[in-house]
């Protein structure tokens, strides 16, 4: 496994450039938050393996996982023989992912300390880019910049799979819809995310409406193949670079 440190070069940063390495909301630079992450998020290994199979990821393909966290999807892709690039702005998360991959005797992952706005994919272009529950860390102006960069990293016909907390209720229903969502998913016994965590997510992170993400993907040049929504608070976008 190779480790590649990619930081924005001086010439690329302006006074107004967003610092994606500063944590927003839940602090994934905190080792305790990282250690608890898999327990609270739940075991998604089987779901990730199924997803990769369904999308046709096979050996030799180039897969990028943006905001890899503890690396579950990256490890599942590497198990299929893909050449995987696992990208995250949090060093403790990357360290956790690296240790999980080593414990699973999985090779074929390059870890990158970088993010949506700073990762430079090279050489060539990726066949697949995945991002699960990470894009909401960026404000909308920077989400658009991120999605435009994602499109430029994919080969023609390449697939972008995006899953995140994305709202699909009517704006006038905001109050009831957010309450209904938190009421349905919050756990107070330590087995998942608590009401306080979800409240902080809505208050401090940058989850937005599905119609905004849809418009951004289209602006970035993607053709949207499929959108799935649940609880009016989660959405999955399957997008193709034409």
Ligand X SMILES: C[S@@+](CC[C@H](N)C(=O)[O-])C[C@H]1O[C@@H](n2cnc3c(N)ncnc32)[C@H](O)[C@@H]1O
Contacting residues toward ligand X, per CB under 6 A = 20, 28, 41, 66-69, 72, 87-90, 93, 115-116, 132-134, 137-138
SS (H, E, C) 185-207: HCCCCCCCCCHHHHHHHHHHCCC
Nearer to ligand X, 61 or 72 (CB): 72
Nearer to ligand X, 133 or 209 (CB): 133
Nearer to ligand X, 108 or 115 (CB): 115
Q: How far is the CB of 144 from ligand X (least distance, A)?
A: 13
Q: How far is the CB of 219 from ligand X (least distance, A)?
A: 19
> Can you tell me which residue has the tokens 């699909």?
168
Question: Encoding tokens for residue 242?
Answer: 């034409």
Beta-carbon neighbour count of residue 49 at 10 Å?
18
Q: How far is the CB of 168 from ligand X (least distance, A)?
A: 19
> Can you tell me which residue has the tokens 């999807």?
73
Nearer to ligand X, 152 or 176 (CB): 152
Q: How far is the CB of 205 from ligand X (least distance, A)?
A: 9
Nearer to ligand X, 173 or 237 (CB): 237
Residue whose beta carbon is closest to ligand X: 69
CA dist list (Å): 222 to 54, 57, 145, 230:
20, 19, 14, 22
Q: How far is the CB of 176 from ligand X (least distance, A)?
A: 25
- CA-nearest of 141, 21, 1, 193 to 90 is 21
């Amino acid at each position: 496994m190779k480790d590649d440190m990619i930081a924005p070069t001086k010439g690329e940063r302006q006074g107004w450039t967003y610092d994606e390495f500063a944590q927003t909301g839940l602090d994934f630079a905190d080792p305790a938050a990282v250690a608890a992450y898999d327990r609270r998020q739940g075991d998604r290994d089987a779901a990730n393996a199924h997803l990769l199979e369904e999308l046709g990821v096979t050996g030799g393909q180039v897969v990028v996982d943006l905001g890899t966290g503890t690396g579950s999807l990256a490890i599942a892709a590497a198990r299929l023989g893909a050449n995987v690039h696992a990208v995250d702005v949090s060093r403790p998360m990357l360290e956790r992912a690296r240790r999980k991959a080593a414990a699973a005797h999985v090779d074929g992952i390059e870890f990158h300390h970088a993010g949506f706005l700073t990762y430079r994919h090279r050489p060539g272009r990726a066949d697949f880019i995945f991002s699960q529950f990470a894009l909401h860390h960026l404000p909308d102006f920077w989400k658009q910049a991120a999605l435009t960069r994602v499109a430029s990293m994919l080969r023609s016909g390449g697939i972008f799979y995006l899953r995140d907390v994305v709202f699909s209720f009517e704006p006038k229903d905001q109050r009831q819809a957010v309450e209904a969502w938190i009421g349905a998913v919050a756990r107070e016994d330590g087995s998942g995310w608590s009401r306080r965590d979800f409240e902080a997510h809505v208050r401090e992170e940058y989850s937005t409406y599905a119609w905004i993400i849809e418009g951004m993907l289209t602006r970035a040049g993607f053709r949207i193949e499929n959108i799935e929504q649940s609880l009016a608070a989660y959405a999955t976008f399957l997008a193709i670079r034409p």
